[in-house]
Chains A and B, each alone.
Chain A
Amino acid sequence: MRRRIALVVPAFPKTSETFIVNKVLGLLELGWDVHVVCGRSDPAEWERFSQLPRTAEMRRRVHVGWPHRPSWRAAALAPVAAASCLGAAPARTLRFVGRGSRRYGAGGTLRRLYVEADLVSLAPEIVHFEFGALAPARMYLRDLLGCRIVVSFRGYDLNFVGLDRPGHYDPVWDTADGLHFLGEDLRRRGLRRGCPPERLHALIPPAIDAAFFRPEPREWTAPSEARPLRILSVGRLEWKKGYENALLAVRSLRGEGLPFQYRIAGDGDYLGAIAFARYRLKLEDTVHLLGGLARDEIRREMQNADVLLHAATSEGFCNAVIEAQAMELPVVCTDADGLSENVADGETGFVVPRRNNLALTAKLSALARDPELRRRMGEAGRRRVLAHFQLADQVAAFDRFYRAVLDAPASLRAADARGNAARADEDATLASLVEEHRPAIQAAGGDEP
Chain B
Amino acid sequence: MRLLVVGSSWPPQTFLGRLLRGLSAAGVRVRVAFTRWPNQEWFHRAGLRTFKTRDWKGPRLLRLGWLAWLSVRALFVAPRALGVFWRHARAQNSRSATLRALNRLLPYAGVSCDVIYLPWNSAAIDYLPLFDLGKPVVVSCRGSQVNVAPHNPRRTVRQGLPATFEKATAIHCISDSIEVEATRYGLDVRKSRVIRPGIDPDFFSPGPAPEPSDKIRIITVGSLVWVKGTSFGIESMRRVLDAGVDATMSIVGDGPERQRVLFAIDDLGLRDHVRLLGRLPPIAVRDELRRSDIFVLPSLSEGFCNAAIEAMGCHLPVVMTNCGGAREGVTDGVEGYIVPVWDPEAMADAIIRLARDPELRARMGRAGRERVLREFTVSRHVKQFLELLDEVRRCDVA
Q: Which residue of A lies closest to B323 (CB)?
A: A280
Hey, what's the 0/1 contact readout for B241-271 against A, CB within 8 Å counting as 1? 0000000000000000101101110110000
Known: A160-B263, A273-B226, A276-B301. A248 touches B152 (CB 8 A): no
Given contacts A159-B263, A244-B342, contact A289 B153 (CB under 8 A): yes
- 1/0 contact trace for B8-37 toward A, CB 8 Å? 000000000000000000000000000000
Give the contacting residue for A271; candidates B153, B231, B262; CB below 8 A: B153
Q: How far is the CA of A163 from the CA of B265 in the complex (A)?
A: 10
**B259: A residues at CB distance < 8 A:** 160, 163
Residue B154 CB within 8 A of the other chain: yes
- Shortest A283–chain B CB gap in Å is 12
In Å, the complex CA distance between A276 and B228 comes to 13
**Bound CA–CA A279/B226 (angstroms):** 15
- Interface digits, B311-351 against A, CB 8 Å rule (1 contact, 0 not)? 00000000000000000000000000000011010000000
> Chain A contacts of B301 at CB under 8 A?
276, 280
Closest to A314 in B: B263
Secondary structure type dominating chain B contacts: helix
Question: By the criterion CB–CB under 8 Å, are A276 and B342 in contact?
Answer: no
| CB of B176 closer than 8 Å to a CB of A | no
**A279 to B: closest C-beta gap in Å:** 5
The residue on B at minimum CB distance from A159 is: B263
Report how many residues on chain A are interfacial, defined by Cβ distance under 8 Å.
Answer: 22
The reply on B300 being an interface residue by CB < 8 A is yes
Is B235 an interface position by the 8 A CB rule? yes
Tell me whether A275 and B152 are in contact (CB under 8 A).
yes
B226 and A239 contacting across the interface, CB-CB below 8 Å: yes
Q: In the complex, what distance in Å separates the CA atom of A226 from the CA atom of B159?
A: 35
Is B155 in contact with chain A by the CB < 8 A criterion? Answer: yes
From B265, which residue of chain A is reached at the shortest CB distance?
Answer: A163
Task: With both chains docked as a complex, state the minimum distance between the C-beta of A292 and any C-beta of chain B, in angstroms.
Answer: 12
A263-294 contacts to B, CB under 8 A, are 270-273, 275-280, 289
Whether A355 pairs with B235 at a CB distance below 8 angstroms is yes
Complexed CA–CA distance, A373 and B12 (Å):
58
Contact present for A271 and B341 (CB under 8 Å): no
The chain B residue with its CB closest to the CB of A358 is B345
Q: Smallest distance from the beta carbon of B354 to chain A beta carbons, Å?
A: 23
Beyond known contacts A160-B263, A271-B154: 13 more, CB 8 A cutoff: A163-B266, A164-B276, A239-B226, A239-B231, A240-B260, A271-B153, A276-B148, A276-B151, A276-B301, A277-B300, A314-B267, A355-B235, A355-B344
Q: Which A residues fall within an 8 A CB radius of B?
A: 159-160, 163-164, 239-240, 244, 248, 270-273, 275-280, 289, 313-314, 355
Sample of 22 A–B contacts (CB below 8 Å): A159-B267, A160-B263, A163-B259, A163-B263, A164-B276, A239-B260, A240-B260, A248-B342, A270-B226, A271-B152, A272-B149, A275-B151, A275-B152, A276-B148, A276-B152, A276-B300, A277-B300, A277-B342, A280-B301, A313-B267, A314-B267, A355-B344
Question: Lowest 4 A-B CB distances belong to which pairs?
Answer: A272-B152, A273-B226, A279-B151, A275-B151
